Structure 1
Amino acid sequence: MLLESLVVLFAGIGAGAVTGLIGASAVVVVTPVLITVLGYNPYTAIGISLVTDVFASSVSAATYWRNGNIRIRGGLTIAFTAVLAAVVGSWLSGDVDPTTLGGLSGVVILLMGVSFTRKSLNERLESFRETADLSAVREHKTVASALAGGFIGTMTGVFGAGGGVMILIILTFILEYEVHTAVGTSVLIMIFTALSGGVSHFIVESAVPFAALGISGIGGIVGAFLAARYANLVSEERLSTVIGMTFVGLGGFVVLQRLPF
């Protein structure tokens, strides 16, 4: 029991850290760790990751707000449609296969880590803006934001991802926010998407794992508080390197857990 509690706690801290650093969802840490290391049911693991997102995102948003890095007005459409879609998505997630989810999560995290160590998010945004023609999308920002919010909310409910990175992409590419402001705004929106998905999850779930929720939530608060303070002080290059190294280590660990030995 003690070992299980420690694993859940450290998963929560890791989730809070990636949320505070770049607005990534707790799903990249909590869900694969609970499934692969502790053998949790995927549906339960997704619910716990969503609740952890609520705690971690709340602390992160407060820190970004104090540093003037939140602008909510442009993200309201995303938030509204994402919340509605998250409820629907949570009803569709009961049959997620643990082996597939755990293995794919590890590979995705590993690839994200390698990507971040090679080039910062700011550099990728500048390069994309120079080569891609998004004028048609930007002329219909409201429609594009609504569609993006619906997709993000569905992924939130089904896979337990609060949508932070996807919201970040929409805010930077479509609404043209600066990176730190986009991260701050995305974690604020993620509070509501994760909350709606989490509540819907545990309305369906008969047995609510209150102990695991509390432990992971505490870890998320600690990790998010420390990481968000750090993220608001460092350069984009340093931030991307730290995120990349963290993701490479975590992704490699999850992949190794799925190997047959």
Structure 2
Amino acid sequence: MLITFLGMDPYMAVGIALSSDVLASAISAYTYAKNKNIDIKNGLIMMGSVLVFTVVGSYVSSLVPSATMGNFSVFMTFLLGIKFIVRPVMTTKEAMQGVSAKKRALQSLVCGMMIGFICGFVGAGGGMMMLLILTSVLGYELKTAVGTSVFIMAFTAFTGAASHFAIGGMPDWTVWILCVVFTLIWARIAALFANKATPRTL
């Protein structure tokens, strides 16, 4: 939205989006953890590879033309929305237990590399791609997928934001503060609603 509606430089917009996600993701993860809708074990495995490749993605995005990067971010967000409309996630927690722990750990490691690169490259879109991969590739139940993704994003967003600001300079502080405050407030409200809603509603 910073790119599309405010015309901000895509690289700086991604840095602001990532930094806004830090506290918002942390408070959301806490809410999901209280409701036992989070996979800490595999989340930690995935986080390791995600953190490394977030820095790689952040660096690569600094080399990509702004127009290309902005268009890619908008396109991936649009694609995810279409995916959930056409093919909503209806996996149950019972079905998740059918996958062996070893296979799940390996999948988490490999997917973490891909997710990390995306997080660093397209910022908020990376978090959406994480949700897409957790549900479509790893077969997570929707609430657990959301809880696990925001848990990981709290750490990857911090790493990605730090990388963006270190490479591209400090953001517009007024825009940054407004984004952080309102993202935090609405993330808390959304997390409370999501944990009480049915998977079909989500």
Structure 1 residues 112-121 or 207-216, which shifts more? 112-121
**Contact 2:119–2:157 (Cα < 8 Å) also in 1:** yes
Give the counterpart of 1:217 among 150, 169, 180: 180
| Aligned ranges 1:1-261 → 2 under 5 Å | 33-122=1-90, 125=91, 140-161=103-124, 163-172=126-135, 176-239=139-202
Structure 2 vs 1, CA of residues 173 and 94 (structure 1 numbering), >3 Å: closer, same or farther?
closer
For 1:145 and 1:139, locate their aligned partners in 2 and report how far apart those are by CA, in whole Å. Answer: 10
What TM-score, normalized by structure 1, do the two folds share? 0.66
Structure 1: tracts of 5 or more residues without a match: 1-32, 130-134, 240-261
Q: CA deviation at 1:103?
A: 4.0
Q: How far apart, CA to CA, are the structure 2 residues paired with 1:84 and 1:90?
A: 10
Distance change (3 Å), C-alpha of 1:162 and 1:146? farther
CA distance in 1, matches of 2:166, 2:177: 17
Separation of aligned partners in 1, 2:34 and 2:82: 31
Looking at structure 2, the residues matched to 107 and 201 of structure 1 have their Cα atoms a distance apart, in angstroms, of 21
Equivalents in 2 of 1:230, 1:36: separation in Å?
A: 28
The answer (yes or no) to whether the contact 2:42–2:104 under 8 Å persists in 1 is no
Question: Unaligned stretches of 5+ in structure 2?
Answer: none
Report deviation, 1:140: 3.7
Count of matched residue pairs: 198
TM-score, normalised to structure 2's length?
0.83
Secondary structure at the counterpart of residue 201 of structure 2: helix
What displacement does 1:192 show? 0.7
Residue 109 of structure 1: how far off its partner (Å): 3.6
- CA RMSD, Structure 1 to Structure 2 (Å): 2.8
Distance 1:187 1:100 in 2: 27
Structure 2: distance between partners of 1:97 and 1:39: 15
**For the structure 1 residues 100 and 176, does the alpha-carbon distance in structure 2 shift closer, same or farther, using more than 3 Å as the test?**
closer
One-letter code aligned to 2:166 = I
Change (3 A) 1:61 1:117: same
AA aligned to 2:201 is R
Q: In 2, Cα distance between the equivalents of 1:106 and 1:224?
A: 21
Out of 101-110 and 40-49, give the one that drifted further.
101-110
Q: Indicate the structure (1 or 2) with the bigger Cα radius of gyration.
A: 1
